[in-house]
Amino acid sequence: MPGIKTIKKPRTLPSRLRKVQLIEATITSISKHGISGTTLTSVTKEAGLSLGLVNFHFKSKEVLLTETLRFLAEEHRTLWMSKLSKSNLSPRDKLFAIVDAQFDPSVCSRKKLAVWFAFFGETAQRKSYRTTSSDIDMERQDVCADLFQQIITAEGHEQRDAEGCARALEGLFDGLWLNMLLYPAKFTRKDAAVQVRTHINAILPASST
């Protein structure tokens, strides 16, 4: 019986796939109702599955949330690393590639931002949230510091501190994300990206060779 179009949705799925489905439902639920408003009922309803499934695939709600944050962090990491490795770019262009990644729709949608900051808001209490996102942030910050250093030495901006530039960039990233979340009307992804590019060019004026 060669079924053509009819992608029959199987009742059961291997655990790995079901987990992803539940994580995505969790992201949607958090973006709609916040973390405190996200219940196992809201998640499973969003996924169209039954209540008990979360505790079958994840040990607890707590684990589901941790895995959701890890999922987002991995997704983010994958994105900027792939943009970075596209062809051979100059250090400055690599920096701009990271900026692009930061404000890419797939990472920086209103939905995702709401979820990121929902987790940040719980961060002070849950050490596990902090370490999960910190690992990835730090990695990127180190890469940025390295790129800044390359630009500084290559173009002769010796008065600048690469480490400080990287920290300021990281701060700008997070701060603009927050502003996009708080004032979506006043801040688009493009605005933010341009803002950061302008900042970088102000800090390190391109040598007019």
Residue 37, interface with its own copies (CB under 8 A)? yes
The answer to whether 209 and 154 have CB atoms below 8 angstroms apart is: no
Task: Return the one option of DNA, its own copies, none that residue 80 interacts with (CB less than 5 to 8 A, by type).
Answer: none
Residue 197, interface with its own copies (CB under 8 A)? no
Distance of CA 83 to the CA centre of its chain: 14
Residue 198, interface with DNA (CB under 7 A)? no
Half-sphere exposure of residue 21: CA atoms within 13 angstroms, side-chain side: 17
- CA torsion, ordered 13, 15, 16, 21, to nearest 10 deg: 60
Q: By CB under 8 A, how many residues form the interface with its own copies?
A: 47
Applying the rule CB under 8 A, the residues between 44 and 103 that interact with its own copies are: none
Residue among 93 and 161 whose Cβ is closer to its own copies: 161
Cβ atoms within 10 A of the Cβ of 43, count?
Answer: 27
Half-sphere exposure of residue 125: CA atoms within 13 angstroms, side-chain side: 5
Cα(77)–Cα(151) distance, integer angstroms? 23
Residue among 60 and 201 whose Cβ is closer to DNA: 60
User: Which residues would be at the binding site for its own copies (CB under 8 A)?
Assistant: 31-37, 110, 113-114, 117-126, 130, 133-134, 137, 160, 164, 167-168, 170-179, 181-183, 187, 195, 198-199, 202-203
Q: Which residues bind DNA (CB under 7 A)?
A: 10-15, 18, 38-42, 49-57, 60-62
